[in-house]
């Protein structure tokens, strides 16, 4: 049935829009056409339970992020500002820094307080330890120690002298030797002594040497005792000196027990390392100005303010555009020191999860999955509800250096992943943690119903955009054209696209073209020009393809009739632009065993769906024409001059028609092209890209010259999708082009061959000279030939 021009394109009646320009309209305060997704987003944001993270799914350009941010900003502003987080030194295990949680703003305060405290300690401790009273006590201890040493040696020396032995200092220590008149006896004089006297001397020396050894062995212990006494004196003095400094801090942070614990540990450490605060010798070892290890390290009293919410209002909403492992989880950086990589707690850097803790983190799902280890780390953190900073290099043995194990930080964050549907379903299918962690799916629709109410909302959306983006006002004809383009983008005359990115681009460009006209308002002409320009900018490939057809390089007939040859239609999708391309499909038939050979499949250029369509043809032929006998033919189908992959079943009607034409030996009109898929019963089913396909064949026919016979056959079920270009509609209205809606293969055959297809009578016989009658006859003929050949073969075998 031929379609009328009114069925080829839905027109948005501008006179139905009750405004002159978009200036007359109120702004739209809602997101267009996403009721289900919006409910899901609101639910997902509001529910604060473990695992209720959200995946916002849908194709790009639907405004998913904008929508999420819109709701998040409102919600987050009403929520409590989360606490600050700091890392401080763990004085007992420096490689395990402690995490401190403080109310918002107190982290920065603690950081300042600690810097100030260290500055004060640098003056207070030296002045305390250098106090005359303290120095006197130190000297007393030192003097006492010195006296103890000297006394021990002097007593030994005196005892030795009483026995005629002198304690003599040597380069390496001490020795005992006999003396006469204050001089050690020489070996010659010693030899002259009586043996008894020698023995007496040697025994005395031996005994005294033992005593000397005992004294020397006691020296380390004495030194340790002295050192301990001095340390204790320093400890007492330092404790007294810093007590008043810390007492003020303790009062300031009295409500934060973990901070008070830290102060206690700090106090202990400061006392232990009081000497670090004393002025250092000028000759402190350094190389090129870099202090050598062992120098005082006041960094350990610093506060690493990891998360500072002092200037935040409400819960944070963080969006991480580069969600690498480290950008998500934080990291402990290293610095090179004397050729070695070292780290400390002040080099811990926060990740997006730290910044978003207590709020919301919005991530692009694909980017997270593309980053090595980021997805696993994110899941681990969400599952454990805590943030552990891990060294990736260390765990992979990429670097072998000192690393940290910072205390984990409790994590309370809602993660919102934004991605396309395939990603969501793949994760759901293959990642067993995904369903537990992302319980809320907000599925964004690509289109909405084209109701008068929705058209009115669409107009308000255009008005809102024009106002917010400072476009010229759109008059109602322009708005109507935009709405029509929206239906075209939806690929459905009964729907409107909610791909806001595409619409926003159209509005922006229409405004631009209006500006080049110095027009005060955007009119329908500007919108149409913007659409035309969008196509023009994108259709380089289409132009090339059509040129090849026009020049006959790619052979497409648009006139005459051919047996076993039909014009099929396919769509080439360039991403931002798609267009229809006619293809010549041919079929040949010969005797065989009932197989229909899909040449595309044979050479691995046919996809599975295409193969399925071809197999359906075999089934259709066998069911309709060879129910009680074997189908004794072999047919071949091919997309001529096709050198790429072919998929989809939208050419199956065309393929069947070509096959039937070849079987019936009835030519097909090349003025027509056909699209549609077919089932085993010969019913024609809908296909995609119907508008592009019709326009594609129209363009070719127009280029070769419209004769008035040309047209396209489309499935009846696709009629509602028609939103054809105006020039096509005009051509149809003028009778120079035709669009036919078909429901069965017989409809297609009748239109393509100009002959009746023929319906079987109760006995299964077709009317004479109908196409189906000729097909049945040919199939029967092939069967009989095969029977004869089979019989001859058997006879030959018997003889």
Partner 1 sequence: MKHTPPLPAVRCILVALDDACSDHETMETAARLAADLQAELQGLYVEDVNALRLAALPFTQEITTASGVARRIDPESMERAMQNKAAHVRQLLERSAARAHIRCSFSVTRGHVTQRALLATGETDLVLFGSRSHAPATRLPAAAPARSAVRPVVAVLDAAAPRIQTLDTAVAISQRQQRGLVVLVRGAPPGAVELCADRVRDRLADRDVNARVSRIPIDTLADLIRAAHTHGAALLLLSRTCRLLDQTAVHTLLENLDCPIVLG
Pick the binder of partner 1 from 168, 292, 532, 608 (CB under 8 A).
168
**DSSP-assigned beta bridge partners for residue 208:** none
Which residues 6+ apart lie within 8 Å of 47 measured at CB? 440
**Cβ distance to partner 1 smaller for residue 80 or 161:** 161
362 binds partner 1 (CB under 8 A): no
Cβ atoms within 10 Å, residue 334:
19
- DSSP class per residue in 670-709: TTEEE--EE-TT-BEE--S-HHHHHHHHHHHHHHH---S-
Q: Which stretch binds partner 1 (CB under 8 A): 148-156, 239-247, 464-472, 505-513?
A: 148-156
Q: Which stretch binds partner 1 (CB under 8 A): 32-40, 129-137, 676-684, 719-727?
A: 129-137
The distance of closest approach from Cβ of residue 308 to partner 1 in the complex, given in angstroms and rounded to an integer, is: 38
177 binds partner 1 (CB under 8 A): yes
The distance of closest approach from Cβ of residue 165 to partner 1 in the complex, given in angstroms and rounded to an integer, is: 10
95 binds partner 1 (CB under 8 A): no
Least Cα distance to 237 among 350, 123, 134, 367 occurs for 134
Q: Which stretch binds partner 1 (CB under 8 A): 219-227, 251-259, 588-596, 717-725?
A: 219-227
Which residues 6+ apart lie within 8 Å of 49 measured at CB? none
Pick the binder of partner 1 from 162, 217, 453, 761 (CB under 8 A).
217
Q: What is the DSSP letter of 40?
A: H
- The set of long-range contacts for 368-373, using a CB threshold of 8 Å and a minimum separation of 24, is 368/323, 368/328, 368/417, 369/423, 371/323, 371/324, 371/325, 372/325, 373/325
- DSSP class per residue in 435-502: HHHB-EEEE--SEEE--HHHHHHHHHHHHHHHHHTTPPPBBHHHHHHHHHHHHHHHT-TTEEE--HHH
Token digits of residue 649? 């079943």
Q: Which stretch binds partner 1 (CB under 8 A): 220-228, 311-319, 368-376, 554-562?
A: 220-228
- Applying the rule CB under 8 A, the residues between 277 and 336 that interact with partner 1 are 278-279
Largest Cα–Cα separation, the chain: 158
Pick the binder of partner 1 from 169, 195, 470, 796 (CB under 8 A).
169
The helix or strand, by DSSP H or E, that contains position 88, with its residue range, turns out to be strand 84-88
129 binds partner 1 (CB under 8 A): yes
**Cβ distance to partner 1 smaller for residue 162 or 604:** 162
219 binds partner 1 (CB under 8 A): yes
Dihedral over alpha carbons 55, 61, 62, 66 (to 10 degrees): 70
Q: How far apart are CA 453 and CA 466, in angstroms?
A: 20
175 binds partner 1 (CB under 8 A): yes
**Cβ distance to partner 1 smaller for residue 230 or 260:** 230
Catalytic residue ranges: 650, 693
**Cβ distance to partner 1 smaller for residue 275 or 647:** 275
Rg value, the chain, Cα: 47
Pick the binder of partner 1 from 200, 226, 239, 679 (CB under 8 A).
226
Least Cα distance to 227 among 219, 237, 238, 239 occurs for 219
Dihedral pair phi/psi, residue 24, rounded to 5°? -80, -5
Residue carrying structure tokens 């293809």: 583
428 binds partner 1 (CB under 8 A): no
223 binds partner 1 (CB under 8 A): yes
Least Cα distance to 624 among 659, 676, 654 occurs for 659
CA dist 748 → 67, 189, 673, 684, 718 (Å): 47, 141, 10, 9, 15
130 binds partner 1 (CB under 8 A): yes
**Cβ distance to partner 1 smaller for residue 184 or 256:** 184
Residue 28 DSSP SS3: coil
The distance of closest approach from Cβ of residue 205 to partner 1 in the complex, given in angstroms and rounded to an integer, is: 6
Site string for partner 1, 263-282 (x = CB under 8 A): ------------x--xx---
Pick the binder of partner 1 from 78, 170, 468, 516 (CB under 8 A).
170
Q: Which stretch binds partner 1 (CB under 8 A): 197-205, 610-618, 650-658, 780-788?
A: 197-205
**Cβ distance to partner 1 smaller for residue 217 or 795:** 217
173 binds partner 1 (CB under 8 A): yes
Residue 318 DSSP SS3: strand
Residue carrying structure tokens 């065309």: 654
Pick the binder of partner 1 from 135, 295, 321, 641 (CB under 8 A).
135
142 binds partner 1 (CB under 8 A): yes
127 binds partner 1 (CB under 8 A): no
The distance of closest approach from Cβ of residue 298 to partner 1 in the complex, given in angstroms and rounded to an integer, is: 18
Pick the binder of partner 1 from 49, 187, 255, 397 (CB under 8 A).
187
**Cβ distance to partner 1 smaller for residue 187 or 339:** 187
Q: Count residues binding partner 1 (CB under 8 A).
A: 57
Pick the binder of partner 1 from 52, 174, 298, 428 (CB under 8 A).
174
Pick the binder of partner 1 from 132, 162, 453, 604 (CB under 8 A).
132
171 binds partner 1 (CB under 8 A): yes
Least Cα distance to 332 among 104, 116, 107, 94 occurs for 94
Token digits of residue 356? 């978003």
Q: How far apart are CA 315 and CA 357, in angstroms?
A: 9
**Cβ distance to partner 1 smaller for residue 184 or 402:** 184
184 binds partner 1 (CB under 8 A): yes
Cβ atoms within 10 Å, residue 218:
13
Residues that bind partner 1 (CB under 8 A): 126, 129-130, 132, 134-136, 138-139, 142-143, 145-147, 149-150, 152-154, 166, 168-179, 183-187, 190, 201-202, 205-206, 209, 212-213, 216-217, 219, 223, 226-227, 230-231, 234, 275, 278-279
């Amino acid at each position: 049935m031929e379609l009328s021009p009114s069925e080829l394109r839905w027109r948005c009646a501008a006179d139905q829009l009750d405004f002159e320009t978009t200036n007359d309209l109120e702004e739209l305060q809602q997101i267009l056409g996403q009721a289900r997704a919006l409910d899901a987003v609101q639910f997902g944001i509001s529910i604060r339970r473990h695992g209720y993270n959200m995946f916002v799914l849908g194709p790009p350009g639907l405004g998913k992020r904008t929508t999420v941010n819109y709701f998040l900003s409102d919600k987050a502003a009403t929520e409590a500002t989360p606490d600050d987080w700091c890392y401080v030194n763990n004085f007992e295990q420096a490689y395990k820094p402690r995490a401190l949680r403080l109310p918002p703003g107190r982290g920065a305060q603690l950081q300042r307080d600690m810097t100030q405290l260290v500055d004060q300690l640098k003056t207070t401790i030296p002045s305390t330890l250098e106090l005359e009273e303290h120095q006197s006590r130190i000297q007393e201890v030192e003097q006492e120690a010195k006296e103890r040493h000297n006394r021990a040696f002097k007593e030994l020396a005196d005892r030795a002298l009483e026995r005629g032995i002198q304690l003599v200092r040597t380069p390496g220590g001490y020795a005992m030797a006999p003396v006469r008149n204050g001089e050690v006896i020489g070996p010659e004089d010693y030899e002259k002594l009586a043996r008894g006297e020698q023995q007496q001397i040697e025994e005395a020396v031996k005994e005294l040497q033992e005593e000397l050894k005992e004294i020397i062995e006691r020296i380390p212990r004495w030194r340790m005792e002295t050192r301990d006494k001095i340390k204790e004196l320093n400890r007492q003095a330092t404790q007294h000196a810093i007590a008043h400094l810390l007492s003020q801090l303790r009062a300031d942070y009295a409500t934060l027990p973990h901070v008070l614990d830290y102060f206690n540990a700090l106090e202990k450490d400061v006392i232990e390392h009081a000497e670090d605060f004393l002025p250092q010798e000028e000759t402190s070892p350094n190389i090129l100005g870099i202090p050598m290890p062992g120098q005082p390290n006041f960094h350990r009293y610093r506060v690493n303010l990891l998360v500072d919410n002092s200037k935040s209002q409400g819960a944070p909403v963080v969006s991480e555009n580069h969600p690498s492992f480290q950008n998500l989880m934080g990291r402990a950086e290293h610095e090179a020191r004397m050729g070695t990589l070292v780290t400390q707690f002040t080099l811990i850097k926060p990740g997006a999860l730290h910044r978003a803790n207590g709020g919301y983190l919005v991530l692009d799902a694909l980017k997270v999955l593309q980053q090595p280890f980021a997805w696993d780390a994110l899941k681990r953190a969400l599952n454990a509800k805590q943030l552990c900073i891990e060294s990736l290099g260390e765990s992979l043995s990429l670097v072998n250096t000192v690393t940290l194990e910072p205390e984990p930080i409790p994590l309370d964050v809602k993660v919102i992943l934004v991605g396309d549907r395939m990603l969501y379903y793949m994760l759901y299918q293959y990642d067993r943690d995904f369903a537990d962690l992302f319980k809320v799916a907000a599925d964004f629709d690509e289109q909405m119903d084209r109701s008068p109410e929705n058209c009115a909302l669409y107009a308000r959306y255009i008005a809102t955009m024009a106002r917010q983006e400072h476009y010229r006002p759109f008059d109602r004809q322009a708005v109507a054209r935009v709405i029509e383009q929206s239906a075209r983008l939806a690929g459905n005359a009964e729907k409107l696209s909610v791909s806001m990115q595409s619409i926003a681009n159209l509005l922006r460009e229409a405004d631009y073209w209006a500006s080049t006209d110095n027009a005060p308002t955007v009119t329908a002409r500007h919108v149409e020009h913007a659409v035309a320009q969008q196509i023009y900018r994108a259709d380089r490939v289409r132009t090339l393809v059509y040129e090849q057809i026009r020049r006959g390089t790619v052979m497409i007939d648009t006139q005459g009739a051919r047996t076993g040859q039909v014009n099929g239609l396919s769509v080439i999708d360039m991403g931002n632009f798609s267009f229809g391309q006619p293809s010549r499909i041919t079929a040949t038939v010969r005797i065989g065993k009932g197989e229909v050979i899909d040449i595309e499949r044979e050479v691995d250029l046919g996809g599975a769906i295409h193969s399925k369509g071809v197999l359906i043809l075999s089934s259709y032929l066998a069911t309709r024409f060879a129910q009680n006998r074997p189908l004794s033919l072999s047919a071949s189908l091919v997309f001529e001059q096709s050198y790429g992959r072919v998929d989809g079943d939208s050419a199956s009607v065309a393929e069947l028609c070509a096959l039937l034409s070849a079987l019936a030996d009835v030519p097909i009109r090349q003025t027509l092209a056909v699209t549609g898929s077919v089932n085993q019963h010969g019913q024609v089913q809908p296909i995609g890209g119907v508008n592009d396909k019709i326009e594609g064949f129209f363009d070719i026919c127009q280029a070769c010259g419209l004769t008035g016979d040309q047209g396209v056959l489309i499935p009846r079920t696709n009629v509602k999708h028609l939103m054809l270009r105006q020039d096509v509609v005009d051509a149809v209205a003028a009778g120079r082009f035709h669009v036919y809606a078909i429901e069965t293969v017989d409809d297609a055959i009748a239109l393509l061959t100009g002959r009746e297809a023929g319906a079987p009578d109760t006995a299964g016989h077709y009317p004479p000279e109908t196409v189906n009658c000729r097909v049945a006859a040919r199939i029967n003929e092939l069967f009989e030939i095969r029977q004869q050949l089979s019989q001859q073969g058997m006879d030959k075998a018997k003889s």
